[in-house]
Structure 1
Amino acid sequence: MSAKDQEIAKKVIEGVGGESNVSSVFHCATRLRFKLKDTAKADKEGLNNTPGVVTVVESGGQFQVVIGNNVPEVFKGIMDQTSLKDAESADKVEESGEKGSWLNRAVDMISSIFSPLLGALAGAGVLKGLVALFLVLGWINQESGTYLILNAASDSVFTFLPIFLAITSSRRFKTNMFVSVAIAGALVYPAIAAAQSAGTALNFFGIPIVLVTYTSTVIPVILAVWVQSYVEKFFASFVHQSVKNILVPMLTLLVVVPLTFLAFGPVGNIISEGLASGYTWLYNLSPIVAGLIAGGFWQVFVIFGVHWGFVPIMLSNLGELGYDTMLPLLAAPVLAQAGALFGIFLKAKNRDLKALSGSATLAGIFGITEPGIYGITLKYKKPFILACISGAVGAAIIGAGGGRAISFALPSVLAIPAYVGTGFATTVIGIVVAFALAALLNLFLFQEPVAEASASSAPAATSDGQPAAARVEEAVSAPAESLLKKEIIVSPLAGAIQALDTLPDPAFSSGAMGQGIVVDPTSGHLTSPAAGTVTTVFPTGHAIGITTDGGAQLLIHVGVNTVRLKGQFFDKKVKEGDRVEVGQLLLEFDLEQIKAAGYVTATPVIVTNSAEYLDVLKSTESAAKNGDYLLTTIV
């Protein structure tokens, strides 16, 4: 682990409000997933500006810090620098604060149970696909020892999946891990499996047992460990300390294992079969439509972290049907994002953008899309949309060909061997189409923003003597860091700050003219909110347009319908084409006379090209003076 990873870990700990504010933390392929006691203590903006942090997402009841490929090293740094422990913190139930909605809790539970397994599942899935490919090519045969060993290596994780899930579930539900493993072991015990295969009728003290196959299942063992958490606590509450370590595990096994075979196992199996059958029914209605939906929206699910909810369905399909049709569909949107990044890489002239898009393309090809999404495609909007469209087209092709996965593998080029069999050719074609289409669309349609030099201006004085400052914060030089550019827009007037939708003028309040904010002035001195060039001065003097040095196109419109005054009460101080600095006087107007004439003087300050920005942040203050902070444009 490098010193840089240690420094990122330190900054992240500080940014989430310190170790004392962390209820739990674990990581997936690219994100640190925190459960915080009080999210208000977290410095989200500070984390977003931290070198090495791609972005911060709040979703599914989690505070997610997106790091990228080196998230395991940063996570280890957090473990080294705090008293949090992996076995304890990964699934520690939050001790305070709201638990959130049932959906948040469900997503949180699923992600915490499956995240630690993804590496083993994906690696074994790719190996299983390669073994199948070797069989098709005739490189090995099923009677050979080579096949037997490789098949065992690739299939063991899936065959004994309940045992692996028992380990992660025990952490989630805070149970004795070894007792959980013993319960799972009973479900896949060879004699039980043999009795089920032979159709032997079994009973437990006269109560008939419905035997089902528990190998490769997901839900039965999770239900069993959840029940174990309550049974274990019950016995621990009264068993004497001197024999607790022996009697509590014994009594827990005595209760939970029979209950699982009698009730929770069959119920869980019915749920698993229902999920698999329900998805298959929907898929069979129209595989092409299923592909369009999955391909078009999968990366949206990833952004909000709710994609974990689909993992049990995929595993249920593999366990119940022996294959899954969802996994091949998802390869298209993942590779489409990589294709979009590749198109930007080919077109970009900015050195930092080219470097970042190049490295993100490589990561995307291998299934890690978050750095590219948050760092580039989502930031510029159009590349993300074009990639989603391309992913939908590619997934529709895969659906039309009936693509299937014979094992679980995270969508990437490495997963292609897992798609060997039915629909393999169309699956490969769909993946290639998704990648190529996204690359071509972005190559021709993506417009690279004009790079601005980093600049800052010293505080200037307004006509009222108030300090004013505006600056453009440029992208950092390191490719791994954010390319965000920010420009601060200060208030051109003194007065009360109001939301744009409060203005009694639908042309502005609807947002049709762009995002912005309203200042209800207390004086008639209008000063420049940023350094730039005057692009428009209405003949009547009631409105002025400025293009800032940072590229923002601002419209300052004094009052509502004041154009009807035909210039009366307005005194222009600049003309079109003039260069203006922050705080420079642009216009004077007679506030009282305008009010006396029956006009509303509330003044919208609009960023008319706000569609080109990732966001336009507004001041949360109730009032401002000339030169006080008003807006921030982020691109």
Structure 2
Amino acid sequence: MCLLGGIILEDSLNILAPISGKVIDLTTVNDPVFSKKMMGEGFGILPSDNYVTSPVSGTITLVAKTKHAIGITTPNGVEILIHMGIDTVTLNGTPFEIHVKVNDKVSAGQLIAIMDLTAIIKSGKDPTVIVAITNSDKLNDIKIHLGKVDSGQIVATTKFHSNSDKEVDVPTNYHQIAEAIIQNIGGVENVSSLIHCMTRLRFYLINDKLTNDSAIKNIDGIINIVRAGGQYQVVIGPSIDDIYAAVVDILGPKLSQNNSIKNDAPKSFWAEFKNYLNSFIHVLTGSMLPIIGLLGGSGILKGILGALCGYGILEKSSGTYLLFSAIGDSLYYFLPIILGFTTAKVLGANPITMAVVGGVLTYPSLITAGNEAIQLTVFRIPAHIMSYTSSVFPIIFAAWVGSYLEKWLKKVIPSVIRSVFLPIIEVILLSLLIYVGVGPVMLYLSKLLSLGVESIYFVNPALTGVLVSGLYQILVIFGLHWAIIPILVNDLAINGHSYLNAMISVTMVAQGAAAMAVALKTRDKKYRDLSWAATLSAFCGVTEPAIYGITLKYKRIFILSNIGSAIGGFLAGFFKVDAYALSGSLIGFPAFINPNVGVTSNLQGYVIAHIATLIVTFILVFVWGDKDPVSN
């Protein structure tokens, strides 16, 4: 009997590619938990599209709350884990769309998820899809076919042990395992917070020197430990949910919206600062990530419209211009509505409620009153009406307050009437808070921030360019660049342009040029292909593949690329290159066309700074970089 599509044969199983791309050996993936086969045998795929299908027929047994992983069990008991991206648990499900739920029956090749590769890469994560057989000890003779593959093609074939059906599972005492873990990580008082993904417990510890690594590794049910991203990760595998529940039982406090357990043990100032900084960056990342691509695309469209009007090809009074101008401007104009929705999802507030609050901030009548400096009173309290269109920080602040306000309102409003009264009361209170209270202050601080950025810039534009461009990609490594994105958006919203964005743009070209030099130098075909892909990605404005896949691995190349960036930043500052939209690198050149007057000397400055960055960085890496980075 021979059935295709992942159906079990008498003693064998075919595993299909869940996504189109390039199959790679599991030992080469950038996650030690999988590359060291702690989770069992399997393979990785460098994806080329967004659609994830089931590699086998079976039952859905696990769907991660953060949507980044799905577990399937075949009729013969083989446990398959599909892990979409590396460390994507921190993205809280934003780039994923799941099409199945636990206990669903699926057929091999059936669509189970969609992953947004662009969003994952822009967030600095590796998009590699990993397929792991978590109970591969039941199998033998696993054959994996490496290379290019289309979704649905057979990638792996395996056979069962002849006596696998006689194996008996021994009951596990999860509470004892949890007690042993907590005891050897320094006790309850050493736990700052805890989250978990499909394979591991991720502890944030107050003092990670109090851990007993060898003791934890020897606990039954523990596969290994990993230290990464400020986390102490205990790798467990399929029993993660049971052990996590047991750990929560011992730690005591209730779970928050993002499934973290907070400990009130005293922390050092530095530990508190890092915790708040990580939380702040997490909120900014989650709120901005879904709209970054559309912000860039809108800016490019506005630049193209400006060029067409500047050259007399298109009239501003024409219907074509009005329509496409609305398409380019709408996201910026209604930014509070969109940010209200995305920020609420990150903070655990009601996204629809916060979108409505954003709608109040952009309500036409109130905007007109603000523009005409009409003095209004609300309950006899003077309200300083201002225009909040295109604003960033007031709605983020409102969403933060809303996340706590909702919890309080749920306690005081009876459940019988809660669904009707809670949302509208929350909208009223938050709108009053913004218009009568902190809104004008937040908007003033936003303008002050924008003015501060420009003031620093104009002290010495060229020197500012050297510092910003020379250091920016270092911020990318630590994920701190997400704290700058709202500053850029705020700058564009208030001033209509951003010198800072122009300086960041040249760093993308520098990383692409460095990857290009490596592609031409290396004799390793696999690495050459990777380098060319990273080059194109950087020239399209996404530098993470170049940084994590190429330049950062070879310190000299990374340093040389940053020197090239600094030179490009000097030229961008010297020519006072200005960006009119959140876009950059080579593909984003329309963002440097003034949308009001068309092509000016600003575009010439952009061309000089970016082409010089490309040439200088390429020469630096090609001449002074390693002869062949891979072989060395």
* TM-score tier after normalising by the smaller chain length: 0.5 to 0.7
Opposite residue 590 of structure 2, the aligned amino acid is P
Q: CA RMSD in A?
A: 3.1
Q: Secondary structure at the match of 1:208?
A: strand
- 2:566 corresponds in structure 1 to 392
What's the CA shift for 1:158?
Answer: 0.3
Q: Cα offset for 1:365?
A: 0.8
* Structure 2 segments unaligned to the other structure (5+ residues): 1-17, 21-44, 56-67, 71-80, 96-118, 127-192, 204-225, 234-255, 264-271, 595-600
Name which one, 1 or 2, has greater alpha-carbon Rg: 1
Q: Which residue of 1 aligns with 2:592?
A: 419
> Do the aligned partners of 1:334 and 1:369 also contact (CA within 8 Å) in 2?
yes
Q: Do 2:522 and 2:629's aligned partners in 1 also have CA atoms closer than 8 Å?
A: no
TM-superposed deviation, 1:346: 2.0
Which residue, out of 505, 518, 524, partners 1:344? 518
1:60 CA displacement: 8.1
Q: Distance in 1 between matches of 2:626 and 2:399?
A: 53
Matched, 1:438 2:622: no
d(CA) in 2 for partners of 1:336 and 1:424? 18
Other-structure match for 2:195? 37
Cα 1:62–1:237 shift into 2, 3 Å: farther
Contact 1:224–1:264 (8 Å) recurs in 2: no
Q: Deviations over 1:522-580 (max 9, x none)?
A: xxxxxxxxxxxxxxxxxxxxxxxxxxxxxxxxxxxxxxxxxxxxxxxxxxxxxxxxxxx
Identify if the C-alpha distance between structure 1 residues 59 and 316 changes in structure 2 by more than 3 Å, giving closer, same or farther.
farther
Q: Secondary structure at the match of 1:203?
A: strand
Aligned amino acid, residue 615 of structure 2:
A
CA contact (8 A) 2:391 2:493 kept: yes
In the superposition, relative to structure 1, how do residues 264 and 60 fare at CA in structure 2: closer, same or farther (>3 Å)? farther
Could you say if the C-alpha distance between residues 415 and 62 of structure 1 is closer, same or farther in structure 2, counting changes exceeding 3 Å?
Answer: farther
Whole-angstrom CA distance in 2 between matches of 1:9 and 1:375: 23
Asked if the contact 2:202–2:232 (Cα under 8 Å) also holds between the matched residues in 1, the reply is no
Mapped partners of 1:448, 1:225: distance in 2: 52
Query: 2:260 aligned to 70, 75, 95, which one?
Result: 95
Residue among 392, 397, 422 paired with 1:218: 392
Matches within 5 A, 1:100-139: 101-139=275-313
Residue 101 of structure 1 aligns to a residue whose secondary structure is helix
Structure-2 separation of matches of 1:60 and 1:264: 34
How far the C-alpha of 1:59 sits from its partner, in A, is 4.8
- AA aligned to 1:423 is N
Tell me which residue corresponds to 1:317: 491
- Deviations along 1:435-458, one digit per CA (max 9) or x if unpaired, are 111111222222234866xxxxxx
Residue of structure 1 aligned with 2:370, choices 179, 196, 208: 196
Structure 1 residue aligned with 2:544: 370
> Displacement of 1:339 after TM fit?
0.7
Structure 2 CA distance, aligned partners of 1:101 and 1:196?
38
Query: What do residues 310-369 of structure 1 show as CA deviations (whole Å, max 9, x unaligned)?
Result: 112111111221211111111111101101111222222222232221121111111121
**Equivalence for 2:26:** none
Q: Residues 320-335 of structure 1: matches in 2 within 5 Å?
A: 320-335=494-509
1:49-83 Cα offsets, whole Å, 9 max, x none, are: xxxxxxx99558899xxxxxxxxxxxxxxxxxxxx
TM-score of the aligned structures, taking structure 1 as reference length: 0.60
Distance 2:501 2:453 in 1: 12
Task: Report the residue type matching 1:395 in the other structure.
Answer: G
The 8 Å contact of residues 384 and 436 in structure 2, kept in 1 or not, is answered as yes
**Residue identity in the other structure for 1:325:** Y
Within 2, Cα distance between the matches of 1:204 and 1:385? Answer: 57
**Alpha-carbon separation, structure 1, partners of 2:331 and 2:298:** 7
**Which residue identity is paired with 1:106?**
F
Structure 1 residues without counterparts, runs of 5 or longer: 44-55, 64-90, 453-634
357, 363, 366: which one pairs with 2:531?
357
Aligned to 1:428: 607
Contact kept, 8 Å, 2:523 with 2:628, in 1: the verdict is: no
- TM-superposed CA distance for 1:14, in Å, is 10
State the shift of 1:120 in Å: 1.5
Do the aligned partners of residues 274 and 59 (structure 1) sit closer, same or farther apart at CA in structure 2, a change above 3 Å counting?
farther
SS in 1 for 2:502: helix
Partner of 1:172: 346
CA offset at residue 412 of structure 1?
A: 2.1
Cα separation, 1, equivalents of 2:604 and 2:626: 34
Aligned CA distance change for structure 1 residues 207 and 302 (closer, same or farther; 3 Å): same
Kindly indicate whether residue 405 of structure 2 is the aligned counterpart of residue 231 of structure 1.
Answer: yes
- The answer (yes or no) to whether the contact 1:61–1:108 under 8 Å persists in 2 is no
Per-residue deviation, residues 571-626 of structure 1 (Å, max 9, x unmatched):
xxxxxxxxxxxxxxxxxxxxxxxxxxxxxxxxxxxxxxxxxxxxxxxxxxxxxxxx
In the alignment, is residue 159 of structure 1 matched against residue 333 of structure 2?
yes
- How far apart are the structure 2 equivalents of 1:192 and 1:219? 19
Report how far residue 220 of structure 1 moved.
0.8
d(CA) in 2 for partners of 1:174, 1:306: 23
Per the TM alignment, residue 398 of structure 1 is displaced from its structure 2 partner at its CA by 0.8
The verdict on how the C-alpha distance between 1:329 and 1:425 changes in structure 2, with shifts beyond 3 A counting, is same
> Match of 2:580, SS?
coil
Q: How far apart in 2 are the matches of 1:57 and 1:251?
A: 45
Flag the 1:58–1:273 CA change in 2: closer, same or farther, 3 A. Answer: farther
Alpha-carbon distance in structure 2 between the residues aligned to 1:148 and 1:451: 53
Q: Tell me how far 1:29 sits from its aligned partner.
A: 4.2
Show the counterpart of 2:360.
186
Q: Report the CA distance shift for 1:439/1:12 in structure 2 as closer, same or farther (over 3 A).
A: farther
Match of 2:475 among 297, 301, 306: 301
Q: Which residue number in structure 2 is paired with residue 2 of structure 1?
A: 19
- 1:69-98 per-position Cα deviation (integer Å, ceiling 9, x unaligned): xxxxxxxxxxxxxxxxxxxxxx94242267
Query: Normalization by structure 2: what TM-score?
Result: 0.60
Distance 1:436 1:140 in 2: 35
Partner of 2:461: 287
- Residue 298 of structure 1 contacts residue 330 of structure 1 at CA under 8 Å; is this kept in 2? yes
| Distance in 1 of aligned mates of 2:373 and 2:566 | 45
Alignment map for 1:448-487 (pairs within 5 Å):
448-449=627-628
Would you say the 8 A contact 2:554–2:629 is kept in 1?
A: no
Give the counterpart of 1:249 among 420, 423, 432: 423
- Report the residue type matching 2:537 in the other structure: A
Query: Residues 23 and 304 from structure 1, CA distance in 2 versus in 1: closer, same or farther, beyond 3 angstroms?
Result: closer
Q: Is the 8 A contact 1:129 1:415 kept in 2?
A: no
Structure 2 contact 516–532 (Cα < 8 Å) conserved: yes
Match of 2:318 among 131, 135, 144: 144
Q: Which amino acid aligns with 1:291?
A: G
Which residue type is aligned with residue 296 of structure 2? A
In the TM superposition, residue 423 of structure 1 has moved relative to its aligned partner by: 2.4
User: Contact 2:195–2:202 at 8 Å: present in 1 too?
Assistant: no
* Contact preservation (8 Å) 1:60, 1:104: no
CA distance in 2, matches of 1:160, 1:62: 41
Q: Give the drift of 1:414.
A: 2.1
8 Å CA contact 1:23, 1:36 repeated in 2: no
C-alpha distance in 2 between matches for 1:24 and 1:245: 26
What residue in structure 1 maps to residue 626 of structure 2? 447
